[in-house]
Amino acid sequence: MGQIGSAAVPRPMRADARRNHDKLLAVAKVAFSEHGPEASLDEIARRAGVGAGTLYRHFPTREALIEAVYRDEVQVLCDAADQYGHELPPDQALAAWLRAVVRYVSAKRGLSAALKAMVGVESQVFAVCHQAITAHGGALLEQAQRAGVVRAELTLSDLLRLASAIGQASESVPEDKDMAERLLGLMMDGWRGKA
């Protein structure tokens, strides 16, 4: 898995430093999902089994940690698009990827909004991440359109907006565990309407 949106080429890390970095990133994803972007950094370090100093060596600011989590999540979505595109028929690949997008939106709990407030919507990280999602998700949509299994007038932008709305809706009603799948089903019925 590559790294999206890095400002510079990272120096190689020692194995123990890489493990600490990866543990901090994994724990931060969970903490931000549970508590939003204001999750305690000290608690993140504690849950990762490292000291606060180790956290700050890897991520000197809250912004740096949020940005790293955001980039990593976008990379996961891009990798999923590639995997689904190789393993599934085109319409199923697109549907599986949009499910992943919905899960991401419903779990991120304001992470991108917090990052936008910190670095601005015109920042390099958003531009690079948007470009990556557009390239990987767009390839899935194009495959499905070429196969004639989805409507030709669909745009990736429209699908991402719908998936984002479904993710936000399911986050706001967590007790309805089936809502996202129902809404995705309706969306998929619409995109197949007149392929």
Count helices and strands (H / E) in the chain: 9, 0
CA distances from 185 to 35, 60, 95, 146, 191 (A): 29, 43, 9, 21, 10
| 72 vs 174 pLDDT, higher one | 72
Judge contact between 144 and 93, C-beta under 8 A. yes
CA distances from 74 to 40, 149, 156, 167, 193 (A): 23, 26, 16, 15, 29
Same-domain check for residues 18 and 77: no
- Whole-number percent of the chain with pLDDT over 90: 50
Alpha carbons 130 and 156: distance in angstroms, whole number: 11
Least confident of 87-101, 137-151, 157-171: 157-171
Does residue 89 sit within a domain? Answer: yes
Alpha carbons 18 and 121: distance in angstroms, whole number: 30
Same-domain check for residues 126 and 101: yes
Q: What is the pTM of this model?
A: 0.81
Helix axes 90-107, 156-172, angle to 10 degrees: 40
Q: Is the pLDDT of residue 140 over 90?
A: yes
Does residue 4 sit within a domain? Answer: no
Same-domain check for residues 132 and 181: yes
Same-domain check for residues 23 and 98: no
Does residue 152 sit within a domain? Answer: yes
Q: Is the pLDDT of residue 155 over 90?
A: yes
Same-domain check for residues 77 and 31: no
Number of domains in the chain: 2
Least confident of 11-15, 30-34, 158-162: 11-15
Judge contact between 102 and 180, C-beta under 8 A. yes
Give residue 11's pLDDT.
63
Alpha carbons 139 and 129: distance in angstroms, whole number: 15
Q: Is the pLDDT of residue 143 over 60?
A: yes
Same-domain check for residues 73 and 124: yes
Q: Is the pLDDT of residue 10 over 60?
A: no
For 147, the domain range is 62-191
CA distance from start to end of the chain: 34
Q: Taken in order 73, 111, 132, 5, is the CA torsion positive or negative? A: negative
What is the mean pLDDT of the segment spanning 69-80? 93
Same-domain check for residues 91 and 56: no
Judge contact between 158 and 167, C-beta under 8 A. no
CA distances from 182 to 50, 61, 91, 178 (A): 41, 39, 17, 6
Query: Among residues 43, 60, 77, which one ends one of the domains?
Result: 60
Give residue 112's pLDDT.
67
Task: Write phi, then psi, for 120 (nearest 5 degrees).
Answer: 90, 145
Q: Is the pLDDT of residue 16 over 50?
A: yes
Does residue 7 sit within a domain? Answer: no
Q: Is the pLDDT of residue 51 over 50?
A: yes
Same-domain check for residues 79 and 93: yes
47: CATH: 1.10.10.60
